[in-house]
Each structure stands twice: as C-alpha cells, then as structure tokens.
Amino acid sequence: MRFSLWPRSLAARTAAVVLSGLALVQIAGLTIHTLDRIDIQRIAQVRDLSLRIVPLYRAIASAEPEDRPAVLAALHVLAMITVHLSDTPPVTTMPELSRGQLGMFRVGLYSAGLTDPHVRWSEQLLYRAPHSNQILHAFHLPRGGWLHIDTDPDPIRPWHSPTFLAAFFLMTLTAAGLTIWAVRRLTAPVRVLAAAAEALGRDVHAAPLPEDGPTETATAAVAFNTMAARIRRFVTDRTEMLTAIGHDPRTPITRLKLRAEFIEDDDLRTRMLGDLDEMATMVAPTLAFGRDSRVTEPVSPVDLVELVRTILDEAGDAHPEAADQLSYRGPPHQTIHARPVQQFSLWR
C-alpha cells in the first residue's frame, strides 16, 4: 500500500511533501484561530449577559424587600432570561462554574456598571447546564433574599462567519496551486537533464544543454556537457584507431596477393589466395565501421519490418526465380532509432 500510493516522480513527491506540510500548517492555524474565536466569543457572551443582568439586579436590589415582587413584575424581561425571587439559595443539579469562569462573570458585571456599594451582593453563585448554554445566576440580595436569573444565551459558533470559510478555502487553493507550480518549475531542469541523457544515448552528437538558470542547474549542465564532449572524443579516437588498424593491413594483403600469383603450384596458390581473401573480408567490416561513423545523417525512427520487406521485394525483382523462397515472419511493425539511408545502403 505504501509503494502504490507514494508517487514515483520527483515533482509529485516534492509536491506531496510540501502540500502535506501546508495542510498541517493550515490545520494548526485553523485550530489556533478557532480557540481564539471561542475565547473572544465567551468574553463577548459574558459582556452581553452582564449588560442584560445588571439593570435587572440593580432594580431588584435597590427596592425594599417587600416591594421586590412588584418591581420584578413591572420589569421587561427578555425571552432568553427567566427571573424569580426566593428566600433560599438555588437547589440544582447543574455543576457550579469554576473559579476562573466565575471571576470572568464578575469582571463583566463590574464593567457593565454595577459599582454601587448599596446594591452589592454578598454572595454570587453561577451554574451551567451540561451540554447546554443555559446559565443560572444566583445573587444574595442586600437586606436578605436571593435573586435567581436563568439565562439561555446563543451558542458559541467559531465558524459562524459568512466569509471566513470561503476565504480560507480560497487561500488554501491558491497556496496549493502556487506550490505545485513552483515544484514543477524547480524540477523542470531534472526532466531536461533526463531527456538530454536519453538523447545522448541514441546520438552521441546530440545538442548540448543550455548552461543557464540557477547556479545548481548551470553547474549540472556544464558537467553534463563536459561528459558528453569527453564521450564524443573517446568515440572519435576509438573510431580513428579502428579505422587505422583496419586500413593498415590492406596494403600487405594486396602485396601478398600479387606475389601469390607467381606461385607455380596451383593448389598452394589457390589456398593462399583464399586465406588472403578471408583476411580482406575480416578487415572490411572494420573499415566500414570507421567510414560509417563519420556519416552525419541524423538518427530518426525507422520501421525495421518495412525496411526488411523493401529489401525482400528488391531481391525478388532482381531474382524472380527465387522470389517464392523470400518471405518474412515476425511482428508487423518494429520501430528502431537509426540512420535510415546509411543502414539501407549497408543492407543492400
């Protein structure tokens, strides 16, 4: 599974690694953003609740204990808030808020304007319903009694933004597109180098690489061109050496043939001429190799099967009596890279 999913090309592997890193960074940034939005929304929620609760509490706490029910009935209470009075603290199964959360609500109440010492509570209890946003506030009123305020604020929605997700996905797609483009640009010299190496394998006189671009690319191109020049020089030296080796024996072979003609023994003369012809035959391919290596015809794709069929047709036209014996068996097509004119002239 690991080998089948892991891409084979360098560009794809580099893009996969960079995009994976980008995804991790995006996830980490998104998590930090979410946590920050949750904290900000909690602070805003506490501030909003404090602004709603403070007027209610001030009106009840500033009234005489016997007038508080009438004052409460005359107050305009929002639908999300439930207020009632009691002589005892609340009895509930809700878990009490932590000291930090309680302190945050007290700061919110102070910042909302509840600073009058005559209406300060002597005790404050806060409870939050599990798996819900419902919060129960209990204030011990001055001159006795408890005020219970049950609130149900809107839930915290870190993703409640009409443009955030669209902007986030647009930024992600833009970064991914730029990453893929940059990776392809950076790995393009590797593809060019591979294509040049393949061309050099087919034709030793292939065009050199351009020695431009970044420092690393230019250095690699210079090294490749130097290697190609050395290979061409080696092939040229070897060809010239083989040509010289093959050409030098032709003169003594010719002299030996002339001298063999003066041998009176017919059988010995025939055998000696046959040996000299055999030697000439052995030297001829070496000379042909040296001669053919100097041909500047470019290498191109050639259908070998079509070439063989052409030779068989010409042989059949030249020798009609043997045309029935000339046939080809094999694949219908076989493409090779060669010099068509040179190879055709050799095979003829």
pLDDT digits (tens, 9 = 90+) for 48-102: 877 788 788 888 888 888 888 888 888 877 777 888 888 888 877 778 777 777 7
| pLDDT of residue 181 exceeding 50 | yes
Residue ranges of the chain assigned to CATH 3.30.450: 2-151
Q: 128-137, 170-179, 205-214, 310-319: which has the highest mean pLDDT?
A: 170-179
φ/ψ of residue 148, rounded to 5: -105, 125
pLDDT at 243: 64
Tell me which of 15-24, 93-102, 194-203, 286-295 is least confident: 286-295
What percent of the chain is predicted at pLDDT more than 70?
82
| pLDDT of residue 308 exceeding 60 | yes
Residues 211-261 pLDDT 10s: 887 788 888 888 888 988 888 888 777 777 766 665 566 677 777 777 777
| pLDDT of residue 274 exceeding 80 | yes
Q: Please compute the mean of the pLDDT values over residues 324-332 and round it to a whole number.
A: 81
The overall average pLDDT reported for the chain is 78
| pLDDT of residue 346 exceeding 50 | no
Q: How confident is the model at residue 287 (pLDDT cuts 50, 70, 90)?
A: low
pLDDT at 325: 76
Question: What CATH number does the domain located at 2-151 have?
Answer: 3.30.450
Tell me which of 163-172, 182-191, 279-288 is least confident: 279-288
Q: How confident is the model at residue 348 (pLDDT cuts 50, 70, 90)?
A: very low
| pLDDT of residue 111 exceeding 70 | no
